[in-house]
Amino acid sequence: MMPDDYPTPLEPQDRLESELQRVQPRPAQLDWLALERLVAAQDPSGSTTSPSSKSWPAPLSLSAAWMSGAMVGALLTLWIQSSPPTRPADQPPSTMSSIAAHDATTLQVDAPKLAASERMRTNDPWDDGLVASLDQPQYRAGWPRAGRLVYHSDREAINRVTIPRPDSRPGIQQLPQHQLRSQLMQELAPSWE
Amino acid sequence: MGDAPADSISSQQLRDLVEAHAAALVLYARQWCPHPDDAVQEALVDLVGTRPQPDKCVAWLFKTVRRKAMNQLRTESRRAKHETAAMIGRTAWFVTDSSLPLELDDLQTALTQLPDLEREVVVAHLWGKLTFEQIGLLVEVSSSAAHRAYRRALTRLSAKLDPTFEKHS
């Protein structure tokens, strides 16, 4: 007999089980565009569409910039394909299609500001692990999880962005963590308004 | 989408998979890591690049997400273990629904207090819709052991949630 066919006894927890089945997990917040791009790139027939692919930057250039070291300490401007903040940051899109539907505008974010935000999480955000994250497939597929930046204008999302080390933000680095976050949020907010 | 193996996954197949299973996959990954969406994203990227397409895509995704989440946990632990744990704990796992006769905060707390195996089995079966046979393969126990773990978990949850559950009934 298959385990899933075990007779289910009528126990108090069975009612709980049926109620638990009604509870919905929070929707996933994925970079659907990056996935579609990846599917399209692997489809030689080109039958899948890749929305607005022309306006996406080549992620390799950022990675290469890091590897060369030419942009260390420089003000790097990332043009990130993203959607406008039409919903509060704490309300994720309910479906992937809602992400794609809003994917029409660009978002400009200063890399040093994001870099400074990395300092909130770890004293040395420039370790190999973070830098290596740039080389992950999802980043190569479409730099860099842009939708999450908008829908999650919070520390978690920003922390996922890894960029060259800025050497010119001593004031920021000296702030306590909670103040640092507030300041960064203030500075970043106009970029997506 | 069907589970028939194919050479590569289509955009529509991927979309269907994500619509049907991504939320449960994120919940599953959330048990271990602070960035569960990333673990799921990476698993989907792997799926797109897998030739031929896995025989059982959903079960394959759960296994891959599990590995990604654990890898992420190890990396995070090296950086800031305490912060990782805090982030996992403070993120809401479920969609608020006032019609439910449950306090979702209590449910989340009760789930986090379950033994690891029981929590994993409950999430994989209740929300991931995996069979106990699939779960057994996932967590490397027999299917009957997975089923027993599930029943034990429900008993524990029932004991913890009964007060709030009854209040709404």
Is A132 near chain B, with CB under 8 Å?
no
Is A36 near chain B, with CB under 8 Å?
yes
Whether residues A3 and B26 touch (CB distance < 8 A) is answered with: no
Residue of B nearest to A25 (CA): B94
Is A170 near chain B, with CB under 8 Å?
no
Contacts of A28 in chain B (CB under 8 A): 18, 22-23, 25-26, 37, 40
CA–chain centroid gap for A71, Å, is: 22
Whether residues B25 and A28 touch (CB distance < 8 A) is answered with: yes
- A177: amino acid identity, one letter: Q
Distance CA B47, CA B61 (A): 8
The pLDDT tens digits for A105-122 are 223 333 444 444 444 343
Whether residues B35 and A2 touch (CB distance < 8 A) is answered with: no
Residue A16: phi, psi to the nearest 5? Answer: -60, -40
How would DSSP label each residue in A29-75? ---HHHHHHHHHHT-TT--S--TTGGGS--HHHHHHHHHHTTTTTS-
Token representation of residue A165 = 């080390």
The pLDDT tens digits for B95-147 are 888 888 888 889 999 999 999 999 999 999 999 999 999 999 999 999 999 99
Residue by residue, pLDDT tens for chain A (193 residues) are 445 555 555 566 778 888 898 999 988 888 777 777 778 777 655 444 433 332 322 232 233 333 333 232 222 223 233 333 333 333 333 222 222 222 222 233 334 444 444 443 433 333 333 333 333 333 333 333 332 232 233 333 333 333 333 333 334 333 344 444 444 444 444 343 3
Distance from the A43 Cα atom to the nearest Cα atom in chain B, whole angstroms: 8
Distance CA A94, CA B136 (A): 31
What is the ipTM score, two decimals? 0.82
Distance CA A34, CA A93 (A): 16
Distance CA B91, CA B93 (A): 6
Selecting from B18, B161, B165 the residue whose C-beta is nearest the C-beta of A28 gives: B18
Contact B131, B62 (CB under 8 A): no
